């Protein structure tokens, strides 16, 4: 039981973090035989460390919902359980959702997922690229590429950034990642020491929150208005805590879908320059705009190398390909490359070569045009349907892009209870609590996505919402007490 764990006292990483990561990995790999963990004293003796090291590791594991403690009995692994017949928010379900993992509802209408529908995957074009790479490169396609990524793909990404966003970054400033989440993990490993303060938008992407928290960061959420992150609040917290970095999604923010104004972007950059902190810009949907307005990343305005731009192609290409990239500030380049190497050595060389060819042949432009036209129709259908529900008390902003709508509920509704009722009726939604760093109004919001549903399903799903809203309004209150 955990007998293989070894801690390195010569590493800079604190021993309790090393122990936390080791036990976490064993739990995630399902390589642990017993549900019960060793006692603090026995594990400390086994590892040759003091009891405090084990106490702190167990505390962090408990905060991350890997374990739980029963007074007088010991410490146990927390394994989420799902029933095929029960889709309500049980404790394990919400724990997963708070980490960005959503329970799948069998035979439901999926307003929860923001993954693209497979019918839009550019199968034929990408297949041509895969075959051409095999014919061209043979066995070379399966060698390890450079840690930073396949050189020609980094060149293609450099050209892509300049053409689409007017971002100037050489191929040596590009690091290929296995999706956007890996980019966040690499940043966490590079920049965060336990106790460091990180500022994020509130609400925010739970996958980022989980990555930062796993490194022992102190995470503070900054509220948002319709123009982006609240600048006065941000400045106040920056002055007070001097954060390592702030994490932002300026275009079609997840989950609110808010787009920062150009003025707000410039103000945030000015703060970063004045108080010397990095900005992590997470971009995955800038390309998916349904209006004529040209959305540009914050990185486009960055003149002092203080924005680390992370982009995933998962939501607008094919999720299973797992290709993304990040830009490297010169001051952090070596540390980020080392963190990438310790994460997975390098991303798939074969897929990188194929994606490079896909970009060079111009398939990307046609693909973006196709999915934008497709999702524009879904978006307009969703907006049109929600407009008819406004008289029940819901409200929302029209984002003009992205793959979801952030909906504010009537005053007598609770998002978790609405989630439960929708689940009973075969409709999957995401309650706002999943995205908030605290309880500030999280019970009043839900996210409705339209990326994985047909037009017919949009009609049916909105019909379910309408039925719940109208019955709560018209039926005797005692029958619908869960909503009060």
pLDDT, residue 9, reads 87
Question: Whole-angstrom Cα distance, residue 323 to residue 180?
Answer: 8
Q: How many C-beta atoms surround the C-beta of residue 296 within 10 A?
A: 17
Question: Whole-angstrom Cα distance, residue 222 to residue 199?
Answer: 7
Domain residue spans of the chain: 15-77, 91-119+366-483, 139-362
Percent helix, percent strand, percent coil in the chain, to nearest 5: 50, 15, 35
Going by their DSSP bridges, the two strands 445-449 and 404-408 should be labelled as antiparallel
Q: What are phi and psi of 370, to 5 degrees?
A: -65, -50
Residue bearing tokens 């995630």: 28
91-119+366-483 folds as: 3.90.1150
Q: How buried is 156 (Cβ within 10 angstroms: 0-12 exposed, 13-18 middle, 19+ buried)?
A: buried
Q: For helices 180-191 and 333-344, what crossing angle results, to 10°? A: 120
Going by their DSSP bridges, the two strands 109-110 and 74-77 should be labelled as unpaired
Q: Which of 162, 163, 173, 207 is nearest to 188 (CA)?
A: 207
- Contact between 147 and 345 under an 8 Å Cβ cutoff? The reply is yes
Per-position DSSP letters for 39-62, written without gaps between them: PHHHHHHHHT--HHHHHHHHHHHH
- In sequence order, what are the beta bridge partners of 282? 310
Strand, helix or coil for residue 83: strand
Q: For helices 40-47 and 51-63, what crossing angle results, to 10°? A: 120
Q: Which tokens in the block code for residue 195? A: 């106790």
Strand, helix or coil for residue 200: strand
Question: Whole-angstrom Cα distance, residue 232 to residue 29?
Answer: 44
Question: Whole-angstrom Cα distance, residue 359 to residue 362?
Answer: 5
- Full pLDDT tens readout for the chain, 484 residues: 577 888 998 887 889 888 988 888 888 776 565 678 889 999 999 999 999 999 988 888 887 778 877 666 678 887 543 333 333 444 445 556 655 566 666 678 999 988 888 888 999 999 999 999 999 999 999 988 899 999 999 999 999 999 999 999 999 999 999 989 999 999 999 999 999 999 999 999 999 999 999 899 999 999 999 999 999 999 999 999 999 999 999 999 999 999 999 999 999 999 999 999 999 999 989 999 999 888 899 999 999 999 999 998 877 888 888 899 999 999 999 999 999 988 887 788 899 999 999 999 999 989 999 999 999 999 999 999 999 999 999 999 999 999 999 999 998 899 999 999 999 999 999 999 999 998 777 789 999 999 999 999 999 999 999 999 987 655 543 433 332 3
Question: Whole-angstrom Cα distance, residue 402 to residue 379?
Answer: 9
Q: What is the pLDDT of residues 77-116, one digit of tens each?
A: 875 433 333 334 444 455 566 555 666 666 789 999 888 8
Q: Which of 258, 249, 270 is nearest to 227 (CA)?
A: 258
Question: Whole-angstrom Cα distance, residue 102 to residue 429?
Answer: 10
Q: Which tokens in the block code for residue 390? A: 């406004």
Radius of gyration of the chain measured on its C-alpha atoms: 23
- Contact between 223 and 202 under an 8 Å Cβ cutoff? The reply is yes
* Whole-Å CA distances, 199 to 37, 212, 346: 34, 10, 29
* Whole-Å CA distances, 314 to 115, 121, 152, 320, 349: 8, 11, 20, 7, 17
What's the chain's length in residues? 484
Find out whether the peptide bond into 184 is cis, omega within 30 degrees of 0: no
Find out whether the peptide bond into 203 is cis, omega within 30 degrees of 0: yes
Strand, helix or coil for residue 164: helix
On the CB side of 391, CA atoms within 13 Å amount to 2
Q: What are phi and psi of 279, to 5 degrees?
A: -115, 125
Question: Whole-angstrom Cα distance, residue 47 to residue 53?
Answer: 10
139-362 folds as: 3.40.640
Question: Whole-angstrom Cα distance, residue 99 to residue 397?
Answer: 25
Q: Which CATH number fits domain 15-77: 1.10.10.10, 3.40.50.300, 3.40.462.20, 3.40.1190.20?
A: 1.10.10.10
Q: What is the pLDDT of residues 265-314, one digit of tens each?
A: 999 999 999 999 999 999 989 999 999 888 899 999 999 999 999 998 87
Question: Whole-angstrom Cα distance, residue 49 to residue 9?
Answer: 10
- Contact between 330 and 138 under an 8 Å Cβ cutoff? The reply is no
Residue bearing tokens 């123009």: 227
Residue bearing tokens 């609405």: 418
Contacts of 369 (CB under 8 A, 6+ apart): none
Q: In this structure, what is the dihedral angle of CA atoms 42, 43, 48, 51, given to the nearest 10 degrees?
A: -80
């Amino acid at each position: 039981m955990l007998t293989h764990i070894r801690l390195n006292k010569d590493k800079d990483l604190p021993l309790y973090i090393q122990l936390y990561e080791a036990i976490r990995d064993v739990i995630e790999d399902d390589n642990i035989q017993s549900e019960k963990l060793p006692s603090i004293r026995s594990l400390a003796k086994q590892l040759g460390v003091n009891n405090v090291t084990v106490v702190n590791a167990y505390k962090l594991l408990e905060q991350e919902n890997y374990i739980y403690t029963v007074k007088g009995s010991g410490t146990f692994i927390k394994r989420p359980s799902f029933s095929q017949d029960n889709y309500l928010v049980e404790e394990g379900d919400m724990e997963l959702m708070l980490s960005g993992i959503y329970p799948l509802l069998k035979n439901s209408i999926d307003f929860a997922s923001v993954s693209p529908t497979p019918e839009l995957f550019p199968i034929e074009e990408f297949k041509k690229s895969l075959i051409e790479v095999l014919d061209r490169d043979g066995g070379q396609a399966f060698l390890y590429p450079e840690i930073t990524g396949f050189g020609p793909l980094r060149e293609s990404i450099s050209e892509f950034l300049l053409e689409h966003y007017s971002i100037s970054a050489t191929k040596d400033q590009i690091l290929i990642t296995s999706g956007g989440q890996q980019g966040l993990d690499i940043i966490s490993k590079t920049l965060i020491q336990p106790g460091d303060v990180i500022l994020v938008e509130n609400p925010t992407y739970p996958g980022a929150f989980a990555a930062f928290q796993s490194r022992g960061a102190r995470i503070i959420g900054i509220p948002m208005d319709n123009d982006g992150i609240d600048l006065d609040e941000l400045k106040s917290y920056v002055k007070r805590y001097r954060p390592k970095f702030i994490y932002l999604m300026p275009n079609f923010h997840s989950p609110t879908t808010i787009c920062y104004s150009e003025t707000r972007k410039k103000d945030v950059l000015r703060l970063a320059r004045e108080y010397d902190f990095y900005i992590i810009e997470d971009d995955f949907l800038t390309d998916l705009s349904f209006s004529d307005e040209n959305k540009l990343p914050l990185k486009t305005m960055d003149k002092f190398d203080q924005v680390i731009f992370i982009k995933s192609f998962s939501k607008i290409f094919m999720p299973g390909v797992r290709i993304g990239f990040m830009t490297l500030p010169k001051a952090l380049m070596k540390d980020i490359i080392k963190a990438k190497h310790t994460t997975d050595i390098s991303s798939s060389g074969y897929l990188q070569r194929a994606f490079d060819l896909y970009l060079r042949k111009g398939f990307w432009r046609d693909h973006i045009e196709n999915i934008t036209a497709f999702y524009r129709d879904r978006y307009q259908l969703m907006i049109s349907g929600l407009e008819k529900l406004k008289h029940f008390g819901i409200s929302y902003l029209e984002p003009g892009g992205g793959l979801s709508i952030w909906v504010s509920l009537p005053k007598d509704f609770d998002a978790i209870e609405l989630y439960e009722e929708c689940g009973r009726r075969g409709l999957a939604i995401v309650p706002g609590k999943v995205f908030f760093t605290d309880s500030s109004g999280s019970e009043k919001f839900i996210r409705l996505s339209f990326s994985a549903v047909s037009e017919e399903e949009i009609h049916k799903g909105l019909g379910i919402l309408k039925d719940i809203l109208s019955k709560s309004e018209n039926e005797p209150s005692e029958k619908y007490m869960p909503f009060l």
